[in-house]
Chains A and B, each alone.
Chain A
């Protein structure tokens, strides 16, 4: 089915090939997730025209950038690109960097307004007169994003924008990226190998493996599917799109509801009804059968076993669960020992109790 934002590429390099066919939703962050060497950055560079694939079809916002006999050079593509190393022009001030693209843009007036919005969106108003050498890594990256945004690109391409930052700086910049996602209505391709960024920021997820698309779809769906791909090992878990339903001020807790269930988590002073993202790891769920168990664990969910599969180590097994009965359900993963699964007599279709030991609020 043809869409406005289509990327079909075939890139062959020595010992590496990339072959994808992607359709981007008209807005929101689409994370491109994969190990290093899976072709994530090459994909982004091809879309930008920084690299030239053998065959390809790239259409963004309805405009064809590449096709047989068509190859728009990078500088003529209305895109924004944020490089991993927070690349800025070292010979210009912050202001000079922000103005660089605008001076080459056709709509000066509208452009200046956009820039003002981008400056406010990323909170860099106080940095304008600084030299770029005096900025921190996080500030540099925010300036880089603002200069790309000011040009009103049809698509924003971000190549591991947090990879060069230390953990503390990453935490500083993540809220700005959330704002970007919620307030800028263009498609964004966000390359990363950090699941933390995927669960916090992404609306959609593309999983790349050896230059091929292993899985794609809405982020919660992809993480809940049985194909390991996106998140295996210790990272195995699900993402739940939930909303704040109730507060328990005595114990500083709040209840967040998601399709098919709800969980008590730490009260983070949010408004009633506020959307939240909840991450529940497979290792944080244990299972019980029979009458509801009495335990210190507050979050007990009635679930149905969907399937069981061996984990990477033979002593462990993964159980895919469905939470909720009719209509709205959510998928959960539990990691238990194979012996426990045997002792409980678990099998597909069986009802069980999922005891959730920890659920992390990973973003709004």
Chain B
């Protein structure tokens, strides 16, 4: 039913989603924390910038990433200088693209979790001798765990569903940048509808199950919190 190339695309997609999610959580936690607590005039522009991928077509993001990361782009120069080669049309390039593309899906749930928590737990921690960094790890992170679960699941699922960005940044190289969405596109182009069906239906079911699970989990999280 599934060709070896299909299986390769599935494996690559899962790997991409897993790595991107991990990177996203590392970037989004301090970013969301800063957005939730900062009174800096830079807060609003940074918040807007973080949300841009929500409204821009992925092709636009992909296009600019291609330009800046390409051999003629400023960041491309840098990666060449560092001996890393250029990122476009490589798996690493896809990871960078996914991180940018899914950033709001990781930041928003965390931001909400940190905002809902309010200042009080941190003030309480401070009166109990916890330094701000200590309080972040021992109070803010544990209290915001439902936010982390949402952020991880949404980032993962959203990365699996990305298409336009992959096409712009990665092309469609089997084993390197050919992911599920581009594979489905390939099948359709080749009029191989039944194969496209199998993959497409699989993704549909996967996404539904993920969102269902997230909803159930959030309900449980709410009950625990109250």
Residues of A within 8 A of B (CB): 48-50, 73-76, 79-81, 83, 85, 87-91, 100-101, 104-105, 133, 147-148, 151
- A104-B134, A133-B226 known; A89 and B124 CB under 8 Å? yes
Measured between C-beta atoms, what is the minimum distance from A86 to chain B in Å?
A: 11
- A85-B120, A87-B121 known; A80 and B139 CB under 8 Å? no
A49, A89, A90, A101: which contacts B129 (Cβ < 8 A)? A101
Q: Apart from A89-B125, A91-B142, list 9 A-B contacts with CB within 8 A.
A: A48-B127, A49-B126, A79-B127, A81-B123, A87-B123, A90-B121, A91-B139, A101-B129, A104-B129
- A91-B142, A91-B143 known; A80 and B127 CB under 8 Å? yes
B127, B143, B225: which contacts A148 (Cβ < 8 A)? B127
Q: Are A90 and B225 in contact (CB under 8 A)?
A: yes
Q: Are B121 and A50 in contact (CB under 8 A)?
A: no
Measured between C-beta atoms, what is the minimum distance from B114 to chain A in Å?
A: 14
Name the B residues within 8 Å of A74 (CB-CB). Answer: 123, 126-127
- A87-B120, A90-B225 known; A75 and B143 CB under 8 Å? no
B191 within 8 A of A: no
- In the complex, A305→B106 CA distance in Å? 75
- In the complex, A88→B123 CA distance in Å? 11
Q: Are A89 and B121 in contact (CB under 8 A)?
A: yes
- In the complex, A79→B126 CA distance in Å? 10
Q: Are A75 and B124 in contact (CB under 8 A)?
A: no
Name the A residues within 8 Å of B130 (CB-CB). Answer: 75, 100-101, 104
B120, B129, B135, B139: which contacts A83 (Cβ < 8 A)? B120
Q: Please list 23 pairs of residues, one from A and one from B, whose beta carbons are closer than 8 Å in the complex, sorted by A's number.
A: A50-B126, A50-B127, A74-B123, A75-B125, A75-B129, A75-B135, A81-B127, A88-B124, A89-B124, A89-B139, A90-B121, A91-B139, A100-B128, A101-B128, A101-B129, A104-B128, A104-B134, A105-B129, A133-B224, A147-B128, A148-B128, A151-B128, A151-B129
- In the complex, A151→B121 CA distance in Å? 18
Name the A residues within 8 Å of B129 (CB-CB). Answer: 75-76, 101, 104-105, 151
Name the A residues within 8 Å of B135 (CB-CB). Answer: 75
Q: Are B143 and A50 in contact (CB under 8 A)?
A: no
Chain B, residues 110-138, CB within 8 Å of chain A (1/0): the string is: 00000000001101111111111011001
- In the complex, A87→B135 CA distance in Å? 15
Measured between C-beta atoms, what is the minimum distance from B223 to chain A in Å?
A: 10
Name the A residues within 8 Å of B125 (CB-CB). Answer: 75, 89, 100
- In the complex, A288→B115 CA distance in Å? 64
Name the B residues within 8 Å of A83 (CB-CB). Answer: 120, 123-124
Measured between C-beta atoms, what is the minimum distance from B156 to chain A in Å?
A: 24
Name the B residues within 8 Å of A100 (CB-CB). Answer: 125, 128, 130, 138
- In the complex, A50→B126 CA distance in Å? 9
Name the B residues within 8 Å of A48 (CB-CB). Answer: 127
Name the A residues within 8 Å of B138 (CB-CB). Answer: 100
B123, B134, B142: which contacts A50 (Cβ < 8 A)? B123
Name the A residues within 8 Å of B225 (CB-CB). Answer: 90
